[in-house]
Structure 1
Amino acid sequence: MKELEFKRHRRLRSTDNMRALVRETHLLKDDLIFPIFVLEENDVKNEVPSMPGVYQVSLNYLTEEMNELVNLGIKSVIVFGVPQEKDEAGSEAYNEEGIVQRAIRQIKEEVPSLTVIADTCLCQYTDHGHCGVVRNGDIANDESLELITKTAITQAQAGADIIAPSNMMDGFVAAIRQGLDEAGYSQIPVMSYAVKYASAFYGPFRDAAHSTPQFGDRKAYQMDPANRLEAIREAESDVEEGADFLIVKPSLAYLDIMREVKDRFRLPLVAYNVSGEYAMIKAAAQNGWVDEKAIVLEKLTAMKRAGADLIITYFAKDAAKWLSES
């Protein structure tokens, strides 16, 4: 009887060492960016109820948190502020003594090895919770750009290594790039939230950042989850306007978008593994329904496989520990 002819793909899966030898995608500690929420109150470390293991911290706990990251081998952090005072223009966002500006200065002075990324938006600072100035019930795009640019400049003055605007106003990269250049910060890169969907996965973040809109929603400026070509248009505009990195947010439900953005544009691509994606796995793991380590490392690897060069993730500490073990 003639021997069957077929491919023997299993030859490359036979042992742990063989699988490691031919592995195509690698998740590294260097890929991880940890988000931190900084409070203006003193002597506070609050666990976010919907995000087990994630804390809001006051400045007197900040250095301890940053040293833990360094000891774990994590090299980058993105800073979100939770101010005590809010107003209609989000003025604490661009206050030179605002909470994010103070946090950046402290990190750069006390833990200088960390790369500090500043989230640049108004939603945590406005009393209405929107990412720009509200006029007649709508977000005034161009007026908002002026305030977002002021925010970016004060963050650069404080020592931020990277500015990460997340507001989704039209022209925000061009405005910030011009503002930084004119203020003498042409060396500071812009990590644009280029593709940011109006997603249901953001709920726990709004608990942590106290940024829930007080009326309406953000669908007039964040993207429709059904749209693919719009993502390419948004990313293309940001590339033309001078972005240095592109973020896709959320990540897990948008791996197809991530792959397409990476294939079309030759800039470093950042996946934002958002709060809802984190909370779901944490809840399932606490109930014993999933193997947390296995599922987290699998999904982070999937983001790398889809084209991400870097990953903003609340799992950064856990992932760093697990990567050290393996």
Structure 2
Amino acid sequence: MGISQLISQTVGFPTVRLRRLRMTEQFRKMVAETQLSVNDLIYPLFVCPGQNVKREVRSMPGVYQQSIDNLIHDCEQIYKLGIPAVILFGIPEHKDEYGSEAYDENGIIQRAVRALKKEIPELVVITDVCLCEYTSHGHCGIVKEVAPGKYEIANDETVELLAKEALSHAEAGADMVAPSDMMDGRVAAIRKILDENGFQNIPIMAYSAKYASGFYGPFREAAESAPKFGDRKSHQMDPANSDEAIREVALDILEGADIVMVKPALAYLDVIYRVKQEFKVPVAAYQVSGEYSMIKAAALNGWIDEQRIMLETLTAIKRAGADLILTYFAKDVARILT
């Protein structure tokens, strides 16, 4: 007989009153099982060319495309709020079918990283490693025509470019790289090229269980990365599958991932839980653009209490097992928690 069964058979109401420890704010804080901390937060940022640029993303109130000068000002505030890390997404000056600005040493991310590490060296700068923002077709890799009118993303050729991109980010001063493409074998290729070039201590945060989700719409506006044709179901995961997520995570860990990520978060709390229970490694979860925008839209219409729902959803993500949360609410949360 388990302890819970034993207790339930021998002790009950009125001796047991679970409300006793809910009666005051102090009691509730003392016995809270899940603690959301500013140290859990990673703030996503979109950096673009130009000077003094700060364009609000129409579908993401409070989120901006920013030039490097404004990015630095924003990150100074972020650091003062105690948020330990940011993750950068780049909007290049020019796009081509190979996404060549993604791995250009003078690309927008590479310049942004150098500027941030010069001005705010203590801030952890993570870089997204993918090609979708940089390709003219908007896909995450090299697109090949395999039959008349039929196209496929070439996995192995794409992995070579992703490894080059990750190395260029490390050379610029990135503290961590985060491959989000979902190509097979890319973590191993990135680990190999980093190690061969003296970056053995740069961690990899792999988007290991990234689903082909409908929640990414606003992000594609922010990053200007919507595919011009087709979709991403050939490489991102089927929302119906969770066993497959365990296989993906296991492979990324074997290939050298230091942190594994589940994306999106709220519709995949069960996957976050399974990953944490199965592997006991640092787990990140991305509260993605659609999750953010739905809360914002409902709050702007007066339908919900934004702050309450924001904290409730982030606590749920943490309770499911996430150690780190990428969220556009990071600054708002930090102001509350600090």
Please give the range of the TM-score, normalised by the shorter of the 2 chains.
over 0.9
Aligned residues: 322
Aligned partners of 1:73, 1:7: CA distance in 2, in Å? Answer: 41
Over the aligned positions, Cα root-mean-square deviation in angstroms equals 1.1
Given candidates 98, 103, 113, the residue that maps to 1:104 is: 113
Calculate percent identity across the aligned residue pairs. 60
Q: Deviations over 1:56-75 (max 9, x none)?
A: 00012121011110121111
Q: Deviations over 1:247-285 (max 9, x none)?
A: 100001100000000001121100100000000000011
Structure 1 residue aligned with 2:79: 70
Report whether the alignment pairs 1:317 with 2:317.
no
Deviates more, 1:143-152 or 1:178-187: 178-187
Q: CA deviation at 1:5?
A: 5.9
Structure 1 residue aligned with 2:27: 18
Aligned partners of 1:259, 1:30: CA distance in 2, in Å? Answer: 20
Q: Deviations over 1:107-153 (max 9, x none)?
A: 00001110000100000000010111011110000000000000000
- Name the SS for the 1:259 alignment partner: helix
Segments of 5+ residues of structure 1 without an aligned counterpart are none
Structure 1 residue aligned with 2:243: 229
Structure 1 residue aligned with 2:138: 129
Structure 2 residue aligned with 1:80: 89
TM-score, scaled to structure 2: 0.94
Aligned partners of 2:213, 2:72: CA distance in 1, in Å? Answer: 32
Amino acid at match of 1:241: E
Report whether the alignment pairs 1:255 with 2:255.
no
- Name the SS for the 1:214 alignment partner: coil
Q: Where in structure 2 are the equivalents of 1:78-227 lying within 5 Å?
A: 78-136=87-145, 137-227=151-241
Aligned partners of 1:45, 1:307: CA distance in 2, in Å? Answer: 35
TM-score, scaled to structure 1: 0.97
Structure 1 residue aligned with 2:302: 288
Segments of 5+ residues of structure 2 without an aligned counterpart are 1-11, 146-150
Kindly indicate whether the alpha-carbon contact (under 8 Å) linking 1:105 and 1:158 is maintained by their aligned counterparts in 2. Answer: yes
> Relative to 1, partners in 2 of residues 1:303 and 1:4: Cα closer, same or farther, differing over 3 Å?
closer
Kindly indicate whether the alpha-carbon contact (under 8 Å) linking 1:250 and 1:271 is maintained by their aligned counterparts in 2. Answer: yes
Q: Deviations over 1:218-270 (max 9, x none)?
A: 00000000101010010010011110000100001100000000001121100
Q: Deviations over 1:132-188 (max 9, x none)?
A: 101111000000000000000000000000010000000011111111111111110
Aligned partners of 2:111, 2:205: CA distance in 1, in Å? Answer: 21
Report whether the alignment pairs 1:239 with 2:268.
no
Deviates more, 1:198-207 or 1:176-185: 176-185
Structure 2 residue aligned with 1:53: 62
- Name the SS for the 1:293 alignment partner: helix
Aligned partners of 2:336, 2:233: CA distance in 1, in Å? Answer: 37
Aligned partners of 2:174, 2:280: CA distance in 1, in Å? Answer: 24
Kindly indicate whether the alpha-carbon contact (under 8 Å) linking 1:293 and 1:322 is maintained by their aligned counterparts in 2. Answer: no
Aligned partners of 2:22, 2:186: CA distance in 1, in Å? Answer: 48
